Amino acid sequence: MIIEGLNPALILIVGGLLAPLLGGRVRAVYMLALPLLGIVQLCGMDYGSSGIISLFDLNLITLRLDRLSFIFTLIFFIASWLGVIYALHQRDTMQDVAALVYAGAAIGAVLAGDLVTLFIYWELTAISSVFLIWARRTASSAQAGLRYLVIQVGSGVILLAGTIIHLRATGSTAFDHLGLETPGGLLIFIAFGIKCAFPLLHNWLQDAYPQATVTGTVVLSAFTTKLAVYALARGYAGTEILIYIGATMTAFPIFFAVIENDLRKVLAYSLNNQLGFMVVGIGIGTELALNGTAAHAFCHILYKALLFMSMGAVLHRVGTIKASELGGLYKSMPLTAAFCVVGSLSISAFPLFSGFVSKALIMTAAAEEHHTWVFLMLVFASAGVLDHSGIKIPFFSFFYHDSGKRCAEAPTNMLIAMGLTALACVLLGIFPQWLLYPLLPYTVDYAPYTTTHVLSQLQLLLFAALAFTTLMKLGWYPPEIPSLNLDFDWIYRKFLPMVTAQAWGTLERAWEGLTGVLAYQFESLIRALTRHHGLQGKLATTWPTGSMVLWVTVLLAACLIFYYL
C-alpha cells in the first residue's frame, strides 16, 4: 500500500519509537515488517521533490527522490531488514529502538533536498546511533560512546555553521553541488569528511565500532559512513582533492589492520580502506566513477555487514574477538565460517562475488582518466584488502591453530541473516547486469567479466595470497599479540590528556604561589593596621588637647602653603 507524500524514513523512525509498546513475537514481526513497508513505499514513489515546508522564509524540501538517492535509500532499507533479522535473538528494547530510528534518520538524510533538513537528520543519526555503543553497558563502551557522540555532534555543528554561511552568501539552502569555492562550502565539506572518516579524522570509527554490541556494530557499519559518501557524491562530485584523500584512505589502514589483534577493529580499518575507493570515485566525478561509487557502497554495505555478523557471532558464542585467543572454530561454527569466507571473497573482489563487479567500475574510471599513480595505489590497496580482510579475518578466527574453544553454532536468526547476506553477495557478483547496474545513477555500459579483467584480478589476488603465505612460513608476519594499538587517536587519548595534566599542574602551582604571596601581603597589612589601630595602637590612644591643636595647626599651615604655591 502506497501512501501519497509519505516520507519512507518516517516509517522506520515513528515505527521504531512505537516498538516498545509491543513485546515478544509481535514486536519481532512488527520490526521485520517496517523495512519491507519502507521498500514498498520507496518503490511506489515517483522521482521528484515533495514534502516542501516553508519555515522562516526558507523552503525545506524534506523528500527529494532521484536515481542517486534511490539506490542509497534502497540499500539502507535492506541493511535495516537484515539487521533486524540478525538481532531477533536479543531482548533489548534500547537497541531495537535505536537501530530503527538510526536507520530511518540515515534514510531521511539521503532523501533531504535542502541543507537544513539534512542537518536535522544528520544529528539524529548521531544521537540515535550512540545508544548502540552504550547498550553494551561496559565502562570502555561508555567512554567510547561519549567520544563518538562528541565527534558526531561536532560534525553536525560544523554542518550547521557551513549552512548558515552558505545561506548568507547564496540565499539558498538547496542540497545540490556545493563546491569548495565558498567558506560555507568548505565547512560543509569538513563536516562530511568527519563522518566519512577522512585521514586524521577517522579514529572515531576504530574507537567506537568495536565497542558496540554484537548487533550494534553490524548496524553501525551500514549507515553513518555511507551517508557521508552519499553527501559527498551529492555536493562535491568532481572535486579533485577527493581523489588524493580517497587514495590515502585506501592505503594507510592496511598497515594498522595487519598488526591489530581485535578482529572487529581490523574490520573497522578495512571499512576505512573501502571508503577510500568510494571517495576516489566521487573525486573523479565521471558517470562511470559515480556509478562505481554507488555500486561499491551498495555491495560494501552487504559484505561488510556479513563480516561483522560473522565476527559478532564468534563474540556472542566465545566471548572474545581477539585473534590471539581464537582459532579452530570451524569445527564448532562451520556455517558461520562458510559465510565469513563468502564475505572475505566479496571484499577481496574475487570474480563471481559482489566486490569484483563494483570495485572494477572505480578502477576503470581511474585508468580512463589517466590517474596512473592513483590507479597503482588502488591496486596496492586491493592486495592489502585480501591480506587483512580476505585472509586474516577467517584464517585467524576459524582455521589457524586450534585454540581449544568449543561452542554452539550461531543462533538460527543470525545464521539466516548471514545466509541471506551471503546469497546477495554471490547473486550480485554473478548477475550484476540484472541486479545491480540497473539501479545505478547513470546508464551503465560496462562488462566486468572480460578475460583481461578476470585474469589480471586473479593474478593480483593469487600473488597477494602467496605473499601472505610466504610471510607466515618465514615468521615475518606480525604476530597476533594482546595489545592496544593507537594511531592518530594517540593525540587526543594520550598526548592531549598528558599536556592538559601538565598544564593544569603548572597552573595549580602558579595559583598556589600567587595566593601564598597575596596571603602573606594581606597578613602584613593586617599586622600593620593592628599596630596603628588596634587596642594598643597609637591611633587608638587618647591624645592631649594641646597635641591635637598643634597637629591641626600644622595641617592648616600645610594646606595654606600648597594653596598659595
| Residue extents of the structural domains in the chain | 238-331+348-410+429-488, 490-526
**CB neighbours (10 Å) of residue 352?**
14
C-alpha distances out from residue 469 to 307, 386, 390, 428, 463, Å: 22, 12, 13, 29, 10
Asked whether the beta carbons of 31 and 77 are under 8 A apart, the reply is no
Q: How does 475-495 read in b/e, with b if 16+ C-beta sit within 10 Å?
A: eebeebeeeeeeeebeeebee
* pTM of the predicted model as reported, rounded to 2 decimal places: 0.89
Q: For residues 71 and 75, give the distance between their C-alpha atoms in angstroms, rounded to a whole number.
A: 6
**CB neighbours (10 Å) of residue 227?**
26
- Per-residue pLDDT, 403: 80
SS3 category, 62: strand
Give the cell for residue 40.
Answer: 514498498
Q: Tell me the Cα Rg of the chain.
A: 32
508, 509, 514, 519 alpha-carbon torsion, rounded to 10°: 90
Asked whether the beta carbons of 7 and 111 are under 8 A apart, the reply is yes
- Per-residue pLDDT, 54: 84
To which residue does cell 554507488 refer? Answer: 294
Q: For residues 95 and 83, give the distance between their C-alpha atoms in angstroms, rounded to a whole number.
A: 11
- Per-residue pLDDT, 538: 62
C-alpha distances out from residue 439 to 228, 366, 443, 466, 514, Å: 20, 22, 9, 36, 70
For the chain, 565 residues long, the average pLDDT of each consecutive 10-residue run is 85 96 93 97 93 84 96 98 96 95 98 96 97 95 94 96 94 93 95 95 91 96 97 97 96 88 93 96 97 98 97 95 90 96 96 96 95 94 88 90 87 98 97 96 93 92 87 78 69 78 88 88 80 64 68 82 74
Output 28-35 pairs: Cβ under 8 A, ≥24 positions apart. 28/88, 31/84, 31/96, 31/100, 32/81, 32/84, 32/85, 34/80, 34/84, 34/100, 35/77, 35/78, 35/80, 35/81, 35/84, 35/103
Asked whether the beta carbons of 205 and 254 are under 8 A apart, the reply is no
- Per-residue pLDDT, 522: 84
Q: For residues 241 and 6, give the distance between their C-alpha atoms in angstroms, rounded to a whole number.
A: 38
Which residue(s) pair with 55 in the sheet?
Answer: 58
